[in-house]
Amino acid sequence: MPYLLTPNSFPIPRRQALVHIASPALAAVALSLPAGADAAGRALAADSAAWRAIQAQAKGQTVYFNAWAGSPAINAYIQWAAEQLGQRYDLRLVHVKISDAVEMVQRVRNEKAAAKSDGTVDLVWINGENFLAMKREGLLKGPFAEQLPSYAWVDTQGKPTTRIDFSEPVDGMEAPWGMAQLTFMADSARVPQAPRNLAAWLAFAQAHPGRLTYPRPPDFHGTSWLKQMLLDLNPGAQRQGLYQPVTSAAFEARTVALWRTLDAAHPHLWRKGRQFPLSAGAQRQMMADGELLWALTFNPNEAATEIAAGRLSASTISYQFDAGTLGNTHFLAIPFNTQAFAAAQVTANFLLSAQAQARKADLAVWGDPTVLAVDTLPAAQRAWFQSATLPGQLQTFAPAIPEPHASWVDPLEKEWARRYGG
């Protein structure tokens, strides 16, 4: 039987890296979801007439997949998927490379305002505030996700964020694609004892002036660091309000400690907190060059893949704060005015398949953790996920802390920019 241990005991099995959810709030939301919504209960059989009809309709269609293009490894993986989809299903997948999903959201929003039924976007890589905006504004087509044949293997019980996106129920409007948890990196040759909580991080910054920083919000990773700090500075019952839609009063009350802490920390950061790296990739490179002593990522396997590629020192370690770090799921969604609904579903289903998920989880390919319940797969497919532990790979997973409600993101970013963005 799978086991879960406290963060200070023994390693959690790798399949369950993002299972140990450190919040009763998420459990409450999960319990409020409709009964009978287990992964296998709604998925179509791969050989059913209904799914075969969707596959037949998908032939010859082109799927314009809007996805972040900031990683060569991810781009290469999407290209592999495009080749597989073309060979297997006679459809064309085009990677529309974007730097921020908000660009895509605005484009679809404009198309709806113009009553444009022949949309330019067929599939999107999305989560969080962008999903919330598209769901609430009627910019998505569905529900579709839980009917996909591959959805039967999604670990909805062990990984509840596959059905709850930043405290917002997914309701089948997006299909889970991968798992993520905020993870930190440091070169153990230069940092023998990495900071294991926020107080230690602040003390480390003071002891090593100019050697720590974080990506500039609204970069996703920079905003994630703000949310991690916000959660750490609002422990216990105070934290529960962060899982509700934001109000002006709640925002003011819950962020007082955050701004006070940043005011104190910034003078000790890189360039005295007056400038910030534009991305987590830039921060990681600065650490690799020796300019910084610490970097962050949302992929627990990133350090291992960077070491394997020769871009980070073999002495680099991955770790998380002992009490937990932000954890979430990233998804695939279909805009309301897609011109290739059938092919978009076939694409999402393939990307959820054991073969595609195993390749994505391979540290030599991408290293993105799977959303599947690997121990329920047939033995031959389970074997695809087995691999040796590599240098830099996260050894002990801390609890995954659910993301605050997505409505907190925009005011956080705007207030940070007002205070520190000048």
- Residue 220 falls inside a structural domain: yes
Average pLDDT over every residue of 285-306: 95
- At 313, phi and psi to the nearest 5? -65, 145
Average pLDDT taken over every residue of the chain? 90
Which residue is listed with tokens 């389970």? 382
- Residue 205 falls inside a structural domain: yes
pLDDT tens per residue, range 319-335: 999 999 999 999 999 99
Instruction: Give the CB-side neighbour count of residue 84, counting CA atoms within 13 A.
Output: 16
- Residue 377 falls inside a structural domain: yes
- Residue 19 falls inside a structural domain: no
Closest CA to 343 of 77, 82, 146: 82
Give the pair of three-digit tokens for residue 315.
């002495």
**Judgement on whether residues 409 and 261 belong to the same structural domain of the protein:** yes
The pLDDT of residue 40 is 57
314: number of Cβ within 10 Å: 13
Report yes or no: 21 and 156 within 8 Å, Cβ to Cβ: no
More confident residue, 33 or 203: 203
Which residue is listed with tokens 């393939």? 350
pLDDT tens per residue, range 148-205: 999 999 999 888 899 999 989 999 999 999 999 999 999 999 999 999 999 999 999 9
**Judgement on whether residues 320 and 255 belong to the same structural domain of the protein:** yes
Instruction: Give the CB-side neighbour count of residue 349, counting CA atoms within 13 A.
Output: 25
**Judgement on whether residues 268 and 363 belong to the same structural domain of the protein:** no
**Judgement on whether residues 232 and 160 belong to the same structural domain of the protein:** no
The pLDDT of residue 41 is 64
The pLDDT of residue 396 is 85
- Residue 13 falls inside a structural domain: no
132, pLDDT greater than 50: yes
Average pLDDT over every residue of 102-129: 96
Average pLDDT over every residue of 358-366: 92
**Judgement on whether residues 348 and 316 belong to the same structural domain of the protein:** no
pLDDT tens per residue, range 64-86: 999 999 889 999 999 999 999 99
The residue ranges of DSSP E strands in 351-421, in sequence order, are 400-402
**Judgement on whether residues 406 and 275 belong to the same structural domain of the protein:** yes
The pLDDT of residue 56 is 98
CA separation for the pair 128, 101 (Å, rounded): 10
Give the pair of three-digit tokens for residue 258.
């955050």
In this predicted structure, which of 14-23, 123-132, 187-196 has the lowest mean pLDDT? 14-23
Average pLDDT over every residue of 254-271: 98
In this predicted structure, which of 21-30, 69-78, 156-165, 265-274 has the lowest mean pLDDT? 21-30
34, pLDDT greater than 80: no
- Looking at the structure of the chain, the number of domains it has is 2
**Judgement on whether residues 145 and 217 belong to the same structural domain of the protein:** no
CA separation for the pair 240, 251 (Å, rounded): 13
The pLDDT of residue 158 is 84
* Vertex 412: Cα angle to 167 and 283 (nearest 5): 100
- Residue 320 falls inside a structural domain: yes
Average pLDDT over every residue of 129-149: 97
Residue 5 banded pLDDT, cuts 50, 70, 90:
very low
Task: Return the DSSP state at 126.
Answer: E
21, pLDDT greater than 70: no
> For the chain, what percent of residues have pLDDT higher than 70?
90
Residue 257 banded pLDDT, cuts 50, 70, 90:
very high
- Residue 246 falls inside a structural domain: yes
11, pLDDT greater than 70: no
123, pLDDT greater than 90: yes
Residue 359 banded pLDDT, cuts 50, 70, 90:
very high
**Residue 65's CATH number:** 3.40.190.10
The pTM score is 0.79
**Judgement on whether residues 227 and 194 belong to the same structural domain of the protein:** yes
13, pLDDT greater than 80: no
**Judgement on whether residues 307 and 238 belong to the same structural domain of the protein:** yes
Look at residue 397 and give its three-state secondary structure: coil
The pLDDT of residue 226 is 98
**Judgement on whether residues 260 and 244 belong to the same structural domain of the protein:** yes
**Judgement on whether residues 175 and 190 belong to the same structural domain of the protein:** no
- At 140, phi and psi to the nearest 5? -115, 155
**Judgement on whether residues 300 and 206 belong to the same structural domain of the protein:** yes
- Residue 3 falls inside a structural domain: no
Range of the domain at 89: 33-179+330-388
The pLDDT of residue 38 is 55
Residue 389 banded pLDDT, cuts 50, 70, 90:
confident
